[in-house]
Homo-oligomer: A and B are copies of this chain.
Amino acid sequence: MAKDMTLLWGSGSPPCWRVMIALEEKGLQGYNSKQLSFEKGEHKGKDVLAINPRGQLPAFKHGNITLNESYGACLYLEEQFKNQGNKLTPENKAEVALMYQRMFEGLSLFDKIRQSLFYDRFVPENERHDSAKKRNAEGLKDEIKIWEGYLQVSKTSCKNLLVFVITFYFFLNEEHFPKLAAYHNTVKDRPSVKNTWPSNWKDSPGMDTLKNL
A residues with a Cβ closer than 8 A to B are: 53-54, 62, 64-73, 75-76, 79-80, 93-94, 96-97, 100-101, 103-105, 107-108, 111, 124, 126-127, 129, 131-132, 146, 149
Contact = CB atoms under 8 A, between A and B. Distances in A.
30 contacts: A53-B149, A54-B105, A54-B108, A62-B97, A65-B94, A66-B97, A66-B101, A67-B97, A67-B100, A67-B101, A68-B101, A69-B101, A69-B103, A69-B105, A70-B104, A71-B104, A72-B97, A72-B100, A75-B100, A76-B93, A76-B96, A79-B93, A79-B96, A80-B93, A111-B111, A124-B131, A126-B129, A126-B131, A127-B131, A127-B132
The dominant DSSP class at the A interface is helix
A179 to B, nearest CB: 16
A53 B146 contact: yes
Given A127-B132, A131-B124, A131-B126, A65 B53 contact: no
A132 B127 CA distance: 8
Nearest to A100: B72
A100 B69 contact: yes
B76 A97 contact: yes
Contact of A104 (B65, B69, B80, B127): B69
A169 B142 CA distance: 30
Nearest to A99: B72
| 10 closest residue pairs by CB, A with B | A72-B100, A69-B104, A65-B97, A127-B129, A72-B104, A67-B97, A76-B97, A72-B101, A65-B94, A69-B101
Contacts of A75: 100
